Amino acid sequence: MGSLDLLMEGFQSALTLENLFYAVLGVFLGTAVGVLPGIGPAMTLALLLPITYSVGPDSALIMFAGIYYGGMYGGSTTSILLNTPGESSSVVTAIEGNKMAKKGRAAQALATAAIGSFVAGTIGTLLLVLFAPTVAGQVVKLGNPSNFALILLALFAVTAVLGTSRLRGFIALFLGLAIGLVGGQTGQPRLTFGSPLLADGIDIVVVAVAIFAIGEALWVAAHLRRRPLDIIPVGQPWMSRQDWGRSWKPWLRGTALGFPFGALPAGGAEIPTFLSYVTERKLTKHPEEFGKGAIEGVAGPEAANNASAAGTLVPLLAIGLPTTATAAIMLLAIQSYGIETGPQLFDTEPTLVWALLASLFIGNTLLLLLNLPLAPLWAKLLQIPRPYLYAGILFFASLGAYSVSFQPFDLAILLVIGLLGLAMRRFGLPVLPLIIAVILGPKLEEQLTTSLQISSGDVSTLWSEPVAVIVYAIIALALVYIVVNGLRPTREEPTREEPIKEEASS
């Protein structure tokens, strides 16, 4: 059966009344939390992970995908109206978007962001449909040594690329690997400290909720601004003919930059959004407007942002490797149903995967239909008193963690790891390497163990496949670059708070 036939079947599943409801709910929730500073889609998905115990896998993933895309758009609303990015990938949007809002053009800025998100998201999803099955078909042919190398590359790339300090990134990575070692997966208890409650390891749902919800809520609550936020009023978003003429090319260029970067093992939307902004600044016919509210500076980065979101689903669905925090939580949701993730996902769960892909087209359309008329409502959301907001987050986080196994011990683990999350933000340790390590660490160990068992303990089997050799060469070259670059004189080390903005909701 061809991809087109499978996609049509996916639409049949995604357009059922129940799944359509979850798509609308996901887009609505995603936009709402994206608007609120400090609360991103990763935290929202972490809080909602326990819902997977009572909802079907297709419905849960469709809702989570809606939250992912909605959160991307919601972050741009905050950037434009408050100059406070709700998402790290929306930082660039704030440069021109807030200037437009201050000049009385908030409606136009929000409109080009919404339409650009729709255009880029739709094109990005089309590319995802075309490339993900092909990538999965090739990866499924690889042996354990190559899979081990690919997971190692994903861990290395996410750690080395993110943040201002690679040392902090690797500290976070090893903290995550240590948490992943807890339990008796090998038949011998490790790091259980004699507690039988830790024999099966720490539930990944508890870790995710603690790091994203508890750690983030405590950090943001500790830095609340006491004075009310100055919110720029906004009416119904609209664009003039000139605005359309200046936006459509940046939308396409942003999409072309965002999707490939999102599909790379390092993932993330920060680099393509910045590159899109630089590109539009060079190509614009109105250079005098840049820095004062140029619509191209909103259209391009927003398109790159959403195209990157589609791109990150390529390694997630085709290889089983998450490259962003939100993708990591989506992977956890899939695994919570006992579904084996990786390249075989397209063969073992075709209905689920194609329903998810079809729902991305539906979610993009819903985003446009909801966000244009509801822009004034999103602006009013910013007036919610922060103490009430974060008290609610802490309550639902605790409830969600307890519902995993109904053990009070899980609440103690939640608090300990939540305090670890707070400390990481305090000292500028990125959160993403930790959560990726907790998820991929056991997979890395499994591939290593299987490879050595098959070869009767011969270590050379780890580089016995061509793909594995190529991957190790890439890692070696990256290490050489890091070492050489590190020996050069660099600018002064940033303050402890600087990396936080970058990792606010990764």
User: Which DSSP helix (H) or strand (E) runs through 156?
Assistant: helix 144-161
Q: Alpha-carbon dihedral of residues 322, 216, 117, 23, nearest 10 degrees?
A: 80
Structure tokens at 390: 């974060």
Are 197 and 409 spatial neighbours (Cβ–Cβ below 8 Å)? yes
Cβ–Cβ contacts within 10 Å for residue 257, how many? 25
pLDDT tens figures, 146-173: 888 888 888 887 777 655 678 888 899 9
State residue 419's pLDDT score.
92
State residue 38's pLDDT score.
62
Q: Who contacts 355 (Cβ-Cβ below 8 Å, separation ≥6)? A: 10, 13, 14, 19, 58, 61, 62
* DSSP string over 364-393: HHHHHHHHHHHHHHHHHHTTS-HHHHHHHH
Q: How far is CA 388 from the centre of its chain?
A: 26
Quick one: the chain helix, strand, coil %, rounded to 5?
75, 0, 25
Which residue from 44, 4, 25, 77 is spatially nearest to 380, judged by alpha carbons?
77
State residue 125's pLDDT score.
92
- Amino acid at site 49: L
Are 44 and 71 spatial neighbours (Cβ–Cβ below 8 Å)? yes
Q: Alpha-carbon dihedral of residues 412, 417, 423, 426, nearest 10 degrees?
A: -110
Which residue is associated with the tokens 């016995």?
Answer: 464
* 53, 138, 497, 501 from 490: Cα distances, Å: 49, 41, 19, 21
The rounded distance, in Å, linking the Cα atoms of 499 and 263 is: 24
Classify the C-alpha dihedral 216-221-227-231 as positive or negative: positive
- Residue 104's Cβ-count burial label (10 Å; 0-12, 13-18, 19+) is exposed
Are 239 and 57 spatial neighbours (Cβ–Cβ below 8 Å)? no
* Low-confidence residues in the chain, pLDDT < 70: 1-2, 37-38, 84-90, 161-164, 184-187, 224-237, 265-269, 379, 382-383, 486-506
Q: How far is CA 270 from the centre of its chain?
A: 11
pLDDT tens figures, 488-498: 654 444 443 33
For residues 386-421, one letter each, b for 16 or more C-beta atoms within 10 angstroms of the residue's C-beta and e for the rest, the string is beebbeebbeebbebbbebeeeeebeebbeebbebb
* DSSP string over 259-315: HHHHHSTT--SHHHHHHHHHHHHHH-S-GGGTTT--THHHHHHHHHHHHHHHHTHHH
State residue 481's pLDDT score.
81
State residue 104's pLDDT score.
80
The rounded distance, in Å, linking the Cα atoms of 72 and 301 is: 11
DSSP state of 162: S
The rounded distance, in Å, linking the Cα atoms of 131 and 109 is: 32
